[in-house]
Amino acid sequence: MLDLVDVGERSVDSYRGVAPDQLLEQLREVSRKLQGARVLHLNATPYGGGVSELLRSIVPLLNDLGLKAEWRIVTGNQSFFEVTKAIHNGLQGGLLDVSPAQQTAYLETSRVNARAFSGEYDFVFIHDPQPAGILAFRDKEAARWIWRCHIDTSCPNRQIWSFLRPFIARFDAAIFTLPDFIPPDFPLSRIEIIAPAIDPQSPKNLPLPEPIARQLLEWIGVRTQRPLVTQVSRFDPWKDPLGVIHAYRLARAKIPELQLALVGSLALDDPGGWDIYRGIEAEVEGDPLIHVFTNLVGVGNIEVNAFQTLSAVTIQKSLREGFGLVVSESLWKGTPVVAGRTGGIPMQMPEGVGGILVDTVEECAEGIVTLVSDRERAKALGASGRDRVREHFLIPRLVRDELALMSRLAAGD
Ligand code: UDP
């Protein structure tokens, strides 16, 4: 059996007064025809990164709505995750191909996971490329299979896309975050566009009283009396951590007491993260105003909440991005964001809402200085961002959209 991930219980009613009422009604309505439907969500890691964040909320909510949902993960060794990382990078336009030996490693692990796949489902959601090979080695049986792509696949590396494409062709439907992300020559006609969302009830996003947020950050060595900017991200070249450090140093030339925190997690399916982490450590060594924290030293959801709550500005200087949950997380706390104009980020912060979009290190530095210095503007941007998140990017909306898709697939539409 594929490993099951434990999730808690959640109640749709607990979102009353937080998410728009109308949305909660739609959620109940659309789930009515799906009572008892068996749903599997399958991905590669139970923590670290946006997908695990989403599943921890979606799965218990589906159960509360009367479906029978499970979250399982595929297993793989280091070489499998090296290949899937290469596929991930290639799908986002990276130049490196996957070698024949790597292709074999992907196929072998997919075969092992297909053998471990048991249980009967009505809907199987496969997240990203890691579990996508399974369907080549087993029957769909009665289930509808949906490939949920979380990354920017608008200009994939050709070789990598032609390797993955036949696996995707076996699915019944695909979900992308933006229409632009649909790769050329996509083999399925059934495509849905559904943006991710954040859970306002999760420990990461609950309102955190300021004294507690301060205590949490002081505890790990951040001086909360000084202005702070933070980037929360996996250690990944697309998140441009070195660009963040350069932008911060330019900004510090104007605001000498400014601190930077880089908060990153090292995930199971991300072997390259360690190299990036070491590169960052080397870059910031001896700089007392730059803090680097990881999940491995116990900086978890509640600390991320504290960082997003107390930072003057958060940074998300992505060069490529799927959605960028951290942007909505920060805006939900009223904290404006200086972010790369890429992927799902502009959808969360259209011009004049939520923060400042940037294309370069210099613009990023300028954005930081502007918002750290002009607190009124920062506050107004943060407030408009929070309104936007409430309207479009809270988890009940995401669950509603996925239920609507299941309902249409079940009806044969
Ligand atoms: N995250 C975290 N701790 C970290 C780094 C990231 O909890 O040290 C979380 C972050 O809060 C967000 C998710 O991981 O919920 C990252 O999702 P995003 O969509 O921003 O990027 P992805 O990692 O999926 O590319």
Residue 203 lies in a domain: no
Residue 249 lies in a domain: yes
Calculate how far, in angstroms, residue 199's C-alpha sits from the geometric centre of ligand 1.
Answer: 13
Is it the case that residue 265 has pLDDT exceeding 90?
no
Calculate how far, in angstroms, residue 72's C-alpha sits from the geometric centre of ligand 1.
Answer: 19
Given a contact cutoff of 8 angstroms between Cβ atoms, the answer to whether 224 and 345 are in contact is no
Mean pLDDT (whole number) for 169-185: 97
Q: Do residues 228 and 112 share a domain?
A: no
Give backbone dihedrals phi and psi of 320, rounded to 5 degrees, phi first: -135, 145
The answer to which of 123-127, 133-137, 232-236 has the lowest mean pLDDT is 232-236
Residue with tokens 């809402």: 353
Q: Do residues 214 and 172 share a domain?
A: no
Mean pLDDT (whole number) for 128-152: 97
The pTM score is 0.96
pLDDT at 179: 98
Q: Which residue among 233, 316, 320 has the greatest number of ligand 1 atoms within 8 angstroms of its CB, and so is best to mutate?
A: 233
pLDDT at 116: 97
Look up residue 27 and give its amino acid.
Answer: L
pLDDT at 96: 87
Calculate how far, in angstroms, residue 185's C-alpha sits from the geometric centre of ligand 1.
Answer: 30
d(CA 109, CA 105): 6
Give, using CA atoms, the residue closest to atom 24 of ligand 1: 50
List, in sequence order, the alpha helices (H) in 157-272: 158-168, 210-219, 241-252
Give, using CA atoms, the residue closest to atom 14 of ligand 1: 49
- Per residue in 249-258, pLDDT (tens digit) is 999 999 999 9
Q: Which domain holds residue 271?
A: 210-392
Residue 205 lies in a domain: no
Is it the case that residue 348 has pLDDT exceeding 70?
yes
Q: Do residues 121 and 231 share a domain?
A: no
Calculate how far, in angstroms, residue 312's C-alpha sits from the geometric centre of ligand 1.
Answer: 19
Residue 179 lies in a domain: yes
Mean pLDDT (whole number) for 5-20: 96
Mean pLDDT (whole number) for 70-82: 95
Is it the case that residue 271 has pLDDT exceeding 90?
no
Calculate how far, in angstroms, residue 47's C-alpha sits from the geometric centre of ligand 1.
Answer: 9
Mean pLDDT (whole number) for 378-407: 98
pLDDT at 413: 78
Calculate how far, in angstroms, residue 408's C-alpha sits from the geometric centre of ligand 1.
Answer: 31
Q: Do residues 179 and 108 share a domain?
A: yes
Say which residues have a Cβ less than 8 Å from residue 206's Cβ, sequence separation at least 6: 200, 305
Mean pLDDT of all residues belonging to the chain? 96
Residue 273 lies in a domain: yes
Confidence of residue 239 (pLDDT cuts 50, 70, 90): very high
Is it the case that residue 224 has pLDDT exceeding 70?
yes
Residue 204 lies in a domain: no
Give ligand 1 pocket residues (Cβ under 6 A): 49-50, 53, 204, 232-234, 263-265, 295, 301, 304, 322-326, 329
Residue 202 lies in a domain: no
Q: Do residues 45 and 112 share a domain?
A: yes
Q: Which atom of ligand 1 is nearest to the CA of 53?
A: 15
Q: Do residues 141 and 237 share a domain?
A: no
d(CA 209, CA 296): 25
- For the chain, first and last CA: distance in Å? 32
Q: Do residues 220 and 339 share a domain?
A: yes
Give the total number of structural domains in the chain. 2
Q: Do residues 59 and 106 share a domain?
A: yes
Give, using CA atoms, the residue closest to atom 17 of ligand 1: 50
pLDDT at 272: 83
Give, using CA atoms, the residue closest to atom 6 of ligand 1: 233
pLDDT at 49: 82
Strand order in the sheet with 68-73: 3-4, 68-73, 38-43, 123-127, 144-148, 173-176, 191-193
Is it the case that residue 214 has pLDDT exceeding 80?
yes
Q: Do residues 372 and 406 share a domain?
A: no
pLDDT at 268: 67
Q: Do residues 263 and 318 share a domain?
A: yes
Calculate how far, in angstroms, residue 35's C-alpha sits from the geometric centre of ligand 1.
Answer: 32
Q: Do residues 171 and 238 share a domain?
A: no
d(CA 124, CA 143): 7
Which domain CATH number covers 323? 3.40.50.2000
Q: Which atom of ligand 1 is nearest to the CA of 308?
A: 11
Q: Do residues 41 and 172 share a domain?
A: yes
Residue 217 lies in a domain: yes
